[in-house]
Amino acid sequence: MEIENKSSFTEFGRTTETDDRGGALLENAPTTNGNSTLESDADNSWEHQLNTFKLKIEELQERYEQSYLEIGRLLIQARDVYKGHGDWIKWLKANAPFSVRHAQRLIRVAEMFDDATMVSRLRLTSSKAYILTRLDKKDMNNFLESDHFFRIGDNPKSVKDMTKRELELAVTIHLKGKLTSTDHEEVTSSIQDKENLKDRVESNLEELRKILNKTIISIKGSDSDTRASWISELDDLYKTSLDQLSSVAE
C-alpha cells in the first residue's frame, strides 16, 4: 500500500517538493542571484542537506504512523455502513487500493489501538502494531505501558527500539514465559541482518555526501541539463536511502 505524502526539502538554494519516496515533483527558482551563496555555504551544505533529509524522513514516518490508524478506522466505518447491503469482502476487493488481507490487518490494528499517542510515542509501524494484536487489549496495554524490555545478553531493548522480528519474539516470550535456544538464535540473526543493512545505508549516505560536494563545485556556471542530471542522481540515491532507512525502522 502506498500513501502519498508531500513534503519539501531545500536543495542547492532552491525548494523541491517531494513525494513520500523522495521523488522530485516541483522545482522553484533559486531565491539568490549569482554564486556567492553557494560559495559561502559550500563547507556546510552537505551537512545541512543530510540533516534536512533526516528531519523529513522522521516527519514522513510520523505521518504514516498516523495514517494507517486513520485508514483502519475508515475501513471499520465503511464495513459498518455496508452491513445488510451485500458481501463486504467483494466490496473491499473492488474498491480498496490494497489487498483484503492488508485491509483486515488495518481494521484489527484500529480496533486495538484507540489512542494514536501510544503508536506515535513508540514509533510503531503497521507491521509492529499488528504483531501486538496477538495480545488481548488489556494485556497489550500492560505490555506497552510497562516500557517492556527484551534482553539479549547485555543488550536490553524497549519496544520502540525493537525490530519487527524482535518484537514478534518478545510477544511470543510474553505469552509463553520463556526464551528457547531457537528463539535466541533467531534474534541474534535478526540483529546481524539489521547491522548489515545499517552499513549499506551508511555507505549510501557517504555516497550522498560525495555527490553533494561534487554538485556544489560543478553547478557554478553549468547549464540546466547538467544541473538536472545532478539533481536526478541525488534523487535516486535519496529514494534508495529512504527505502533502506524504512527497513531499518521495521
Residue 194: pLDDT over 80? no
Read off the pLDDT band of 108 (50, 70, 90): very high
Among the listed ranges 57-61, 119-123, 124-128, which one has the minimum average pLDDT value? Answer: 57-61
More confident residue, 204 or 187: 204
pLDDT for 1 equals 41
More confident residue, 231 or 91: 91
**In the structure, what pLDDT confidence band is assigned to residue 240 with cuts at 50, 70 and 90?**
low
Among the ranges given (21-25, 92-96, 146-150, 202-206), the one the predictor scored with the smallest mean pLDDT: 21-25
Average pLDDT on 245-249 reads 52
Q: Return mean pLDDT, the chain.
A: 68
Residue 178's pLDDT is: 55
Q: Is the pLDDT of residue 14 over 60?
A: no
**Tens-digit pLDDT profile for residues 168-190:** 888 887 777 655 556 556 656 66
Question: Is the pLDDT assigned to residue 81 strictly greater than 60?
Answer: yes
Q: What pTM, to 2 d.p., does this model score?
A: 0.47
DSSP string, the chain: ------EEEEETTEEEEE-TT--EEEE---SS-SSHHHHHHHHHHHHHHHHHHHHHHHHHHHHHHHHHHHHHHHHHHHHHHHTTSS-HHHHHHHH-SS-HHHHHHHHHHHHH---HHHHHHTT--HHHHHHHTTS-HHHHHHHHHTT-EEEETTEEEEGGG--HHHHHHHHHHHHHS---HHHHHHHHHHHHHHHHHHHHHHHHHHHHHHHHHHHHHHSTT--HHHHHHHHHHHHHHHHHHHHHHHHHH-
Given this model, what pLDDT does residue 174 score? 77
